């Protein structure tokens, strides 16, 4: 029997920071530990080499006629710094006030341990469970999953034989209200640089003659939204699907109001576009966001220069059915068309991720060909979560991006059942990351029932 | 007899960096050296204490009925760094290829030595020269002349008895063509900061709800110019005076074309406003310039944040008759009116400087009450420069700002005869600053004649 808390503490003690080569030993430790857990459950574990951190691919496949679930998680974590802001050491997990603190406790080692603990309990009770299982645990999620494309090249065919994907790498609002995530936004990344004179100029001697790159940049950036906040790029909204009533009804159950959301963020006001409320806009609407703009003097006080260049870092979050490549080109075309001749424009095309959406069974827009095991899993999840947490889940889109979820769909045909297990209190990617022990307990119980429900046992 | 080159070399050897307390000894050395030069000429030198670096106030006054000229210079220099870009040590002056290299050679020790050498020659020839002289040499010009207001409080009354000011702290295009500067632009400095959420936000989780401070900043900044490049602030141009034909005729003699100017700056094109050519715009037009804009992620690649704040550093260059305080308030009022409610606006009001203009005698807009000694000085300068340099000067406005020139006008009623002695090749404020020895020689000869002309001797 796997003890969830002790197992999570052991897993977190391996400092598996994927972005920093100094943590190679921690990466190997976390990988080996995850392998041993999967082997205890009877999985055959394959360590798939990549250019950087291997992917663990585990199978427990007994009969091609049984339902087949793929589970996904990642064994890598974000860097722990700034270290001085942690109450206890990031890789020495400590329990305080019903939470276990440590880097990776919530993202994503805790949810993985919940899955594995639930599986271990089910398989102990039903050693001959009529369910095929695959488990993918990657080690590069925190650096954008660069090796997963190759992994799908080699393993997509085997994965495509499964029925659906089970993931817990999304969020819920608090420890009482679980969200089953129905969509993840896509992502487009680009950077523009405007270049004027060959060096910074004296704003007295030359001011008035040249087009200040910061002025032109402001004008281009300002042109990318309409006064109502909507994105002013031809074609940007062409492929956006309508929002269904059931989605708004689900959101109405969300335990946060516009007022409580505003207080949480500390903003004087909101500015959602396209007639959406702030809570709707982050879930149902695409965005074009400036993540960084800079140029000229950045220090204290004043320095009277006309800078030689200026940059803007732009990302778009895309909703279901939008195409990242198409949007990236549309945004670039708009910027190119609006760049004045008096300046030189350079563009860096960054990475992108597809949006993804899954519709639960029983909705007006549920696909007619939804696989029966996926439908059963959704139904089982609803009942099990309602029982374990005392409230049924809310079905809700999420604003963040997990491109690998769309890859599972596009490369292996698998839709996802996404059960959100972390909350805003968990401090993901920040100091004092933690995981709620009541969620751990209730979710383990819920997943036990979900798995039984999929396998058709009680 | 003062030897110009050896005197300048001695003067430059005192590292008088006003902004850095580590150079206190160099400041004192330069001050003492300038004092000794003035005393050699028979000046009575007063060291006027300030909160920081004393002002030298020297007088050689014999008869209240004689013409009375005030000379102005500054004994402080810019910091010499980056030191590794200097060919020889910045405070060990070296002569190479007809130039003397060292920090301060052109700005402003060389021009001061030209004035003093010319005076020494004239006074040697005419010991009883019928000319009253005052000399103001300050030590804070490179840090914005903060102590000069107090100096005018204590000495403005005495200065107001003089006829005009003689200054060489402006530029000429090259060693053959001297410019007599007829105007200096004023300056307004301000900084705005837009604040949104209390910390940076995840652009996926929260993107779509909040008004990104960088987006709002771009929109506000973009609104500050019209599509034709003119400033879009109500009242901005209200007090701008018309440009006279004689000014355009003078500019036509300027030895630079739009093409050569473009090549020098290395810009793909120009963007002057209000129908001015690029060469006109920097001299005749006011500007609103972004010296620095920043916010959000500034490093390599991408980071998907919505920043909590963004800033823009703005300065305006003002032309004659514009009022800095009025313009500053007009710009701030426009920004406040255009700032969305969803963000908090903070404003830093920086310093300002008045614009200044003087019209040479014989122009259609020459003031009827122009003092006769000033008119005579202009005429003497024209003839003397023509003789020493082989070409008469061009009368031209300049784009930069020297607020103390307007202070002499406003606090002591003195107009300025500004003879530009540095050129773009002199690398002012940059490594390898130098001063052209042929300018030094010809200008010393010219000033000798100018002084004689003012005093009415040959």
Is the confidence at residue A11, as pLDDT, over 90?
A: yes
Residue B306, chain A, CB below 8 Å: the answer is yes
In sequence order, the β-bridge partners of residue A201 are A306
Mean pLDDT, residues A80-93 taken together: 94
In sequence order, the β-bridge partners of residue B295 are A293
Residue A191, chain B, CB below 8 Å: the answer is yes
Residue B302, chain A, CB below 8 Å: the answer is yes
Percentage, residues of chain A above pLDDT 70: 100
> How, if at all, do strands B164-167 and B68-74 pair?
parallel
Query: What's the token pair of residue B177?
Result: 């063509």
Residue B305, chain A, CB below 8 Å: the answer is yes
| Least CB–CB distance from A292: residue in B287, B296, B350 | B296
Is the confidence at residue A210, as pLDDT, over 90?
A: yes
- Which domains does chain B possess? 4-184+355-455 (3.40.630.10), 186-240+286-352 (3.30.70.360)
pLDDT in tens, A224-242: 999 999 999 999 999 999 9
What is the CA A174 to chain-centroid distance, rounded? 18
From A192, which residue of chain B is nearest by alpha-carbon distance?
A: B301
For an interface test with A, the pick among B289, B314, B402, B420 (most A C-beta atoms closer than 10 Å) comes out as B289
CA dist A38 to A42, A73, B19, B101, Å? Answer: 7, 12, 67, 74
* String of DSSP letters for A81-138: -SGGG-SS-TTS-EEETTEEESTTIIIIIHHHHHHHHHHHHHHHH-TT-S-EEEEEEE
d(CA B350, CA B190): 5
Q: In B, residues 25-84, which contact A (CB 8 Å cutoff)?
A: none
> For position A43, what pLDDT does the model report?
97
d(CA A109, CA A137): 10
d(CA B412, CA B163): 10
A33 — phi, psi (to 5°)?
-65, -45
> For position A144, what pLDDT does the model report?
85
Is the confidence at residue A187, as pLDDT, over 90?
A: yes
> For position A295, what pLDDT does the model report?
97
> For position A458, what pLDDT does the model report?
79
Whether A297 and B313 lie within 8 Å, measured CB to CB: yes
| Least CB–CB distance from A225: residue in B215, B291, B341 | B215
From A207, which residue of chain B is nearest by alpha-carbon distance?
A: B282
CB atoms closer than 10 angstroms to residue A75: 30
Asked whether the CA dihedral B379, B384, B390, B395 is positive or negative, the reply is negative
Measure in Å the smallest separation between the Cα of A169 and chain B Cα atoms. Answer: 13
> For position B458, what pLDDT does the model report?
78
From A205, which residue of chain B is nearest by alpha-carbon distance?
A: B399
Instruction: Report how many Cβ contacts below 8 Å link chain A to chain B.
Output: 282
pLDDT in tens, A259-314: 999 999 999 999 999 999 999 999 999 999 999 999 999 999 888 999 999 999 99
B446 — phi, psi (to 5°)?
-65, -45
Residues of A in contact with B187 (CB under 8 A): 204, 304
pLDDT in tens, B273-302: 999 999 999 999 999 999 999 999 999 988
Is the confidence at residue A1, as pLDDT, over 80?
A: no
d(CA A231, CA A120): 49
> For position A24, what pLDDT does the model report?
96
Residue A225, chain B, CB below 8 Å: the answer is yes
Mean pLDDT taken over chain A: 96
In this structure, are residues B141 and B53 in contact, taking their beta carbons and an 8 Å threshold? no
In sequence order, the β-bridge partners of residue B434 are B101
CB atoms closer than 10 angstroms to residue B25: 11
Residue A315, chain B, CB below 8 Å: the answer is yes
Is the confidence at residue A91, as pLDDT, over 90?
A: yes
Residues of B in contact with A206 (CB under 8 A): 265, 282, 399
**B70 closest CA partner among B136, B148, B9, B21:** B136
Low-confidence spans in chain B with pLDDT less than 70: none
Residues of A in contact with B218 (CB under 8 A): 217-219, 221-222, 290, 293
Query: What's the token pair of residue A149?
Result: 């494309």
Residues of B in contact with A300 (CB under 8 A): none
Measure in Å the smallest separation between the Cα of B76 and chain A Cα atoms. Answer: 19
> For position A231, what pLDDT does the model report?
98
Residue A222, chain B, CB below 8 Å: the answer is yes
Whether A208 and B285 lie within 8 Å, measured CB to CB: yes
Whether B218 and A290 lie within 8 Å, measured CB to CB: yes
pLDDT in tens, A363-414: 999 999 999 999 999 999 999 999 999 999 999 999 999 999 999 999 999 9
> For position B144, what pLDDT does the model report?
85
Measure in Å the smallest separation between the Cα of B126 and chain A Cα atoms. Answer: 40
């Amino acid at each position: 029997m796997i003890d969830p808390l002790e197992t999570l503490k052991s897993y977190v003690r391996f400092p598996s920071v994927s972005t920093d080569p100094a943590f190679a030993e921690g990466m190997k430790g976390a990988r080996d530990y995850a392998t041993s857990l999967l082997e205890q459950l009877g999985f055959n574990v394959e360590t798939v080499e990549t250019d950087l951190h291997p992917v663990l691919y585990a199978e427990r496949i007994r009969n091609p006629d049984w339902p087949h679930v793929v589970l996904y998680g990642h064994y890598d974590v974000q860097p722990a710094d700034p270290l001085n802001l942690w109450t206890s050491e990031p890789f020495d997990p400590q329990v305080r006030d019903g939470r276990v603190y440590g880097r990776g406790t919530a993202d994503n080692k805790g949810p993985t341990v919940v899955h594995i603990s639930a599986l271990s309990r089910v398989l102990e009770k039903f050693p001959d469970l009529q369910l095929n299982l695959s488990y993918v645990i990657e080690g590069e999620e925190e650096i954008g999953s660069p090796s997963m494309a190759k992994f799908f090249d080699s393993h997509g065919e085997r994965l495509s034989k499964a029925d659906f994907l089970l993931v817990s790498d999304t969020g819920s609002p608090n420890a009482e209200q679980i969200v089953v995530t129905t969509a993840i936004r896509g992502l487009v990344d680009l950077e523009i640089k405007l270049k004027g004179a060959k060096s910074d100029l004296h704003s007295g001697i030359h001011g008035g003659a040249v087009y200040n790159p910061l002025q032109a940049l402001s004008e281009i950036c300002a042109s990318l939204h309409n006064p109502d906040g909507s994105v002013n790029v031809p074609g940007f909204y062409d492929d956006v699907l309508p929002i269904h009533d059931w989605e708004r009804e689900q959101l109405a159950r969300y335990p946060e109001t516009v007022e409580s959301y505003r207080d949480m963020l500390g903003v004087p006001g909101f500015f959602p576009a396209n007639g959406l409320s702030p809570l709707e806009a982050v879930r149902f609407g695409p965005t074009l966001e400036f993540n960084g703009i800079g140029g000229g003097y950045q220090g204290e006080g004043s320095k009277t220069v006309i800078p030689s260049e200026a940059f803007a870092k732009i990302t778009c979050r895309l909703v279901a059915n939008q195409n990242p490549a198409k949007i990236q080109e549309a945004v670039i075309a708009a910027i190119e068309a609006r760049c004045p001749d008096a300046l030189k424009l350079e563009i860096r095309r960054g990475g992108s991720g597809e949006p993804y959406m899954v519709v639960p069974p029983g909705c007006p827009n549920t696909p007619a060909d939804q696989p029966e095991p996926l439908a059963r899993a959704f139904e089982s999840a609803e009942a099990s979560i309602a029982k374990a947490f005392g409230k049924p889940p809310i079905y809700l889109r999420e604003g963040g991006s997990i491109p690998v979820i769309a890859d599972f769909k596009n490369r292996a045909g698998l839709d996802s059942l996404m059960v959100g297990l972390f909350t805003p209190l968990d401090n993901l990617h920040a100091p004092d990351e933690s995981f709620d022990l009541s969620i751990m307990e209730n979710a383990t119980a819920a997943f036990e029932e979900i798995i039984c429900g999929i396998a058709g046992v009680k």
